Structure 1
Amino acid sequence: MPRSSTSAEAATAHSFNKLLNQHKSSSRSRSAADVEESMKKLRRLILVDGIPSADPTLRPRIWKILLRVQHVSADMFLEYVARGPCEVREKIRNDTFRTLATDRGFKERVREDMLVRLLDAFVWRNHDRHESDLGFTYVQGMNVLAAPFLYTMPSELEAFFCFAKFIEESCPLYVQPTLEGVHRGLKLLDRCLKIVDPELFAHLRSKNLSAEIYAFPSVLTLCACTPPLDQVLLLWDFLLAFGVHLNVLCVVAQLLLMRDKLMESPSPYVHLRAFPPLDAQPVIGIAVTLVRDLPADLYEELVRHPYAVDHH
């Protein structure tokens, strides 16, 4: 790496650390408005500079702040683990061995038993909780949603509490047995694409290609199914900072980045079967600009689709 970019990374890491230290002290002693102000600064820094890899402690600390995970209970986690296999263990095992199977770095850091333990514990946790309208068990895609947390967090314990908070609060409808949030997201993807690029939308439609057909894995896993993992993590920094709903626009952005190929191709599905390797920065840049092109009511629907039970 050239020296200039290394020193730029170091400077960015310094800015993040300074902000995190302020946030820590402000959480203890300052008003909610001050805490929100430091969250705003943090989000802006993520958008403008991205979380630098120069300091490997940054991402886990930032994800915990964004998810508002303040306390993790080892006793509680160990109690779930001690219960052993949950009732859907077989379903979990059918998926876990395939999780990010082609990513060597992931396989070296996250063993299959860690994934199984976390998912078992999550099912047990929700076995005991009755205060929410939505129940949770293990569903398809959850293994891939758990993977970035196990890869990023320094311990299984922290990964578990971050994953649980994320699933239960950020995208509960994505993991209902019907995958309701995912199907809503796919319908919204078609509507957004029709507005931002009617020509591309019409071309795909003329080949009977709706988002349900080509974008299901990308919406289901919040793009974590598209390697490489380091780019997935950069995209997730953005989604955790600004909202899971923006993943729909990140998928639209990926379509726009391969627009020429899709428009020229007599069978565009060939290019959509496996998306090109993820390049987070341009995808985020395009997604942010697309927000401005959407009618307010459609954007509002987009914001609510991962978690709001009431409207269809």
Structure 2
Amino acid sequence: MNGDDEEGLSYLNDFQEILQSEVYVDLERLRILARHGVPDQLRGEVWKYLLDVQQADRSKELSSSKARTEEYDQLDKIDSEIAKRIRGEVSRFQKRVPELDKNEHVQTFVNIILAYLNSNHDVEYSSSLVSLCAPFIYVMETECDAFFCFQRLMQAIEDYNANTSLKGQVAQFMTLFRCGLPELCGYFDEEEVDLNEWSTSWLQNLLSKEMRFENLVRLWDTYFAMTDFFAFHPYVCLSILSSAKEALEDLEQSEIRTMLLRLPLLNMEMVIADAYNFKHETIERQMKENGEL
């Protein structure tokens, strides 16, 4: 067994030790570990705890799991018109995400999204629901758990949007972009790249539409381990632009647009580490401007 294998096994054991606790799952320790990525075979279980779908108190595990199953079974999953639109979007999605290209996945998408829409009548169907739902279908063992985790994420997005308008989010990100990567921002201006077009989707959909699937799942490990990942998300977007800067500066407008809407494979450990650096630099700059340093 080489060093990497030993390290991977040790990391896996750290997670298993927390998850196999008989009385109480130590959520704080789980969050600290999960920020650095979750082993594939444990991701579904870990995400349930991080998203507060599964309670940390092990004595309530069976009863809460049974209650979830019963609740999900009762939810209305019928709307033939929207089901048709979901199937069409899933078909397009599956062409670029081979991890979820099996036929049985189609009905799972339909069931989960319809259950969500039918229990949240103020939410309208949008094609982005498919890409936001996909990681949960991929990592969860049951459709029921995928639904409740998806619902938690959608509620978090809704709560954040209620406090910070999308226009405000885009404006804040544009300021970050101009300060953090002035050369690339200037190049986009020269090439007349519509900043609103791609940044709106990046910010609104947590990169679920643009990122390679394996990168997205790894990023969400870190996000779900945070108490407020929305505040961190713009720095991740900035970090991605920084990592792709040289490649982007060799492209013309239409090619830039294509790359921003279909990102290449990224080194996520580096992207996340650089995002933390961007965040610290921004806080320091703001403190200097406010005379606090």
Q: TM-score, normalised by structure 1?
A: 0.76
Q: How does 1:112-127 map to 2 (within 5 A)?
A: 112-127=106-121
Distance 1:231 1:261, change over 3 A: closer
For residue 65 of structure 1, the aligned residue among 49, 53, 57 is 49
Specify the alignment match of 2:32 in structure 1.
Answer: 44
| Aligned counterparts, 1:141-160, within 5 A | 141-160=128-147
In structure 2, list runs of 5 or more residues that go unmatched. 55-63, 288-293
Structure-2 separation of matches of 1:17 and 1:172: 33
| Separation in structure 2 between the aligned mates of residue 192 and residue 20 of structure 1, nearest angstrom | 38
Partners of 1:181 and 1:86 in 2: CA distance: 32
In 2: Cα distance, 1:115 partner to 1:5 partner: 36
State, as a whole percentage, how many aligned pairs show the same letter: 19
Kept in 1: contact 2:35–2:223 (CA 8 A): no
Paired residue type of 2:92: R
What displacement does 1:298 show?
8.3
**Pair 1:198-2:182 in alignment:** yes
Match of 2:124 in 1: 137
Contact 1:51 1:237 in 2 (8 A): yes
Within-5 A mapping of 1:146-225: 146-168=133-155, 170-172=156-158, 182-225=166-209
In structure 2, the CA distance between the partners of 1:175 and 1:191, relative to structure 1 (3 Å rule), is closer
Residue 211 of structure 1 and its aligned partner are, at CA, apart by: 2.9
Report what 1:74 is aligned to: 69
**Displacement, 1:272?**
3.9
Residues 273 and 287 of structure 1, relative CA distance in 2, 3 Å threshold: same
Measured at CA, do residues 182 and 17 of structure 1 come closer, stay the same or move farther in structure 2, by a change above 3 Å? farther
Instruction: Name the structure 2 match of 1:247.
Output: 233
Q: What amino acid is the match of 2:236?
A: C
1:98 aligned residue: 92
| 1:26 match | 24
Query: Which residue of 2 is the match for residue 283 of structure 1?
Result: 271
Distance 1:126 1:46 in 2: 30
1:94 and 1:191 map into 2 onto residues whose CA distance is 37
**Are the aligned partners of 1:60 and 1:153 in contact in 2 as well (CA < 8 Å)?**
yes
Q: Is the 8 A contact 1:139 1:175 kept in 2?
A: no
2:59 corresponds to:
none
Matched position secondary structure for 1:139 = coil
1:273 to 258, 263, 279: 258
- Which runs of 5 or more structure 1 residues have no equivalent in the other structure? 28-37, 128-134, 300-312
Compared CA separation, residues 181 and 296, structure 1 to 2 (3 A): farther
User: Counterparts of 2:210 and 2:160 in 1: how far apart (Å)?
Assistant: 18
Q: CA deviation at 1:201?
A: 1.8
Q: 1:204 offset after TM fit, Å? A: 1.5
> 1:152, 1:184 → 2: CA distance?
33
Q: CA-atom RMSD, angstroms?
A: 2.9
The whole-number CA distance in structure 1 between the counterparts of 2:286 and 2:194 is 18
Rate the CA distance shift 1:105–1:270 in 2: closer, same or farther, 3 A.
same
